[in-house]
Amino acid sequence: MLKNKVAIVTGGTRGIGYAVVEKFLQNGATVVLFGSRQETVTKAIASLKEKNENWEVSGAWPTLTDADAMTAEISKIKDKYGRIDILVNNAGISDSVSIDKYTAEHFSKIMNLNVNAVMNGILPVVEIMKQQGGGCILNTSSMVSICGQPSGVAYPTSKYAVNGLTWSLARELGPFHIRVNAVAPGITRTDMVAALPKEMIQPLINRIPLRRMGEAEDVANAFLFLASDMASYVTGEILSVDGAMRS
């Protein structure tokens, strides 16, 4: 489904991001995964190569909140492969701090990585995609961007901002054949969630109409669809992958 496509996936070393990278590789894409540290990037690539040594996967670890570093790294990828077809902005940070313990610095830290860093990837990629005649930008939103959450206000705020960015850029970039969509996962089985005790997880599962937690592959499948030509007339969408929980 993605044969001959070149993709960048931020936050691609674990969890949903890793699942997206693997799914893209399975479908013929060349993927550059971004991680926070060289060690985690190297480990993720080694793990993927163990599954299929012929997969075209490489990695980098630019500081996502540094616009110049992101522009420089993305320029290297363009120089190496000649094009960038897909950008997946998946890196982010969650939050559960109650408002009485909040600081302005804490709020800014989350907004910086979850919103500003997304734009740091989009801005240089948009110029490349315009020059090549089109492309696809995908953002990771969240179920809580729709319904909020009991604490950690910066996280749903940042993801609602990602939704607004997605809707607006889809309209602005449509004439250049650049599609912009987002995926909004619900409770998904990642390493962090799997480490939680059953007594915390089961009440959450009981609130999900499908009565199960989402798997990283469920979310990766949504990204694959939106990145592929099957979604060639889909833009400006926030695709919920949450088992219809949303509250």
Q: Which residues are identified as catalytic?
A: 155
Distance between CA 141 and CA 158 in Å, rounded?
Answer: 9
DSSP bridge pairs for 178: 135
Distance between CA 108 and CA 114 in Å, rounded?
Answer: 10
Distance between CA 240 and CA 67 in Å, rounded?
Answer: 29
DSSP bridge pairs for 219: none
Locate 76 and state its tokens. 């290297």
89 with 8: CB under 8 angstroms?
A: no
Opening angle at CA 206, ends 205 and 209, nearest 5 = 90
77 with 84: CB under 8 angstroms?
A: yes
Distance between CA 197 and CA 247 in Å, rounded?
Answer: 21
Question: Which 8-state DSSP code applies to residue 109?
Answer: H
Locate 98 and state its tokens. 């109650």
| Three-state DSSP class for residue 180 | strand
